[in-house]
Amino acid sequence: MGPDSPQHILMPVRLSTIALSFAVALLLNFLPWPDLKYTPDFVALVLCFWCVRQPRLVGLGVAWALGLLTDAGNGVLLGQHALAYSLLAFLAIWLSRRILWFGPLQQAFHVAPLLLASQAMILLVRLAAGSPFPGWSLVVGPLIGAALWPPLTWLLLIPQRRLEREQVL
């Protein structure tokens, strides 16, 4: 669909694909990771992806609901991730037309600041709530998340591409 793949016209996305990708992202977030400092926030990444690709289907409402679910699941202040994800979704939708003109690698460079902004939002909320600053390792997660953007793009567009090929055949 985007100008980044002129030779392929992607099929419309199915809602089940989006729902499934969010479920898998939540599952990845709840996995017992050995070191949580360096694991990217998969929900934020997938949310960013769908906001860029399908700004009309996935928007701030979805982001807010996912944020609340993450908050409750992690036992943190209710609304902290909701706020951060809303901001992320807004920025992603705002930049979606620009981002899609670039290749996957340059897109990753656009996504990194968005993920960092949402992390910064959480940091602000926590500092306001009286938590001490946990150190600069906070930055690592979003950067790894941005590095995962190209493979994520490839993975999440598979259903749309395969459908198209079947139709041509």
Nearest Cα to Cα of residue 91 among 70, 66, 65, 63:
63
Out of 59, 107, 142, 146, the only residue in the binding site for another protein (CB under 8 A) is 59
- Scanning 75-103, the segments in alpha helix (DSSP H) are 80-99
Q: How far is CA 134 from the centre of its chain?
A: 23
How far CA 52 is from CA of 58, 82, 83, 88, 110, in Å, comes to: 9, 18, 18, 11, 11
The stretch among 27-35, 108-116, 151-159, 161-169 that binds another protein (CB under 8 A) is 27-35
Out of 134, 154, 158, 165, the only residue in the binding site for another protein (CB under 8 A) is 134
Q: Does 74 engage in binding with another protein (CB under 8 A)?
A: yes
Which residues contact another protein by CB under 8 A?
A: 1, 12, 23, 26-33, 36-37, 39, 41, 56, 59-61, 63-64, 67-80, 82-83, 86-87, 90, 93-94, 125-126, 129, 131-132, 134, 137-138
